[in-house]
């Protein structure tokens, strides 16, 4: 999985009804914690569109993302997406990246997963 890049484009795992959004978020948190335990880990997690909300400091995903970052997984947040949602770049975990860098990282991967 070392050459895998995972794209996170929403603040939950899977498709849920609006009233089940907390369940989707909880499932994403479980997924991230599972990545900590299983080597090899992905090369990078890329946060795009609404997924940038997952990488905001002070949220429910701080612990698993901090641990993954500490284990060498790159955390890339889309700069344009952060601006669109009014999230200050200094409030996110990981790196802020433009689309060129994101495409470059995806192009180097042997597999790209989209959650």
Condensed to tens digits (0 to 9), the pLDDT of residues 1-45 reads 458 999 999 999 988 888 999 999 999 999 999 999 988 899 999
* Pair of tokens at residue 59: 């949220």
pLDDT at 1 (0 to 100): 47
Instruction: Single out the residue of 1, 10, 85, 89 nearest to residue 46, CA to CA.
Output: 10
* Pair of tokens at residue 83: 């601006």
Per CATH, which fold does 4-114 belong to? Hypothetical Protein Ychn; Chain: A, (3.40.1260)
- Give the tens place of pLDDT for each residue, 36-64: 998 889 999 999 999 999 999 998 899 99
């Amino acid at each position: 999985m070392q050459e895998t890049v995972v794209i996170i484009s929403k603040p939950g795992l899977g498709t849920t009804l609006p009233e089940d959004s907390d369940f989707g978020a909880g499932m994403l948190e479980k997924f991230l914690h599972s990545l900590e335990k299983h080597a090899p880990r992905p090369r990078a997690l890329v946060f795009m569109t609404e997924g940038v909300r997952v990488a905001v400091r002070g949220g429910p995903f701080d612990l698993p993302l901090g641990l993954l970052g500490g284990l060498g997984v790159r955390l890339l947040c889309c700069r344009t997406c952060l601006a669109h949602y009014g999230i200050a770049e200094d409030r996110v975990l990981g790196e802020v990246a433009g689309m060129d860098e994101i495409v470059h990282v995806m192009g180097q991967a042997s597999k790209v997963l989209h959650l």
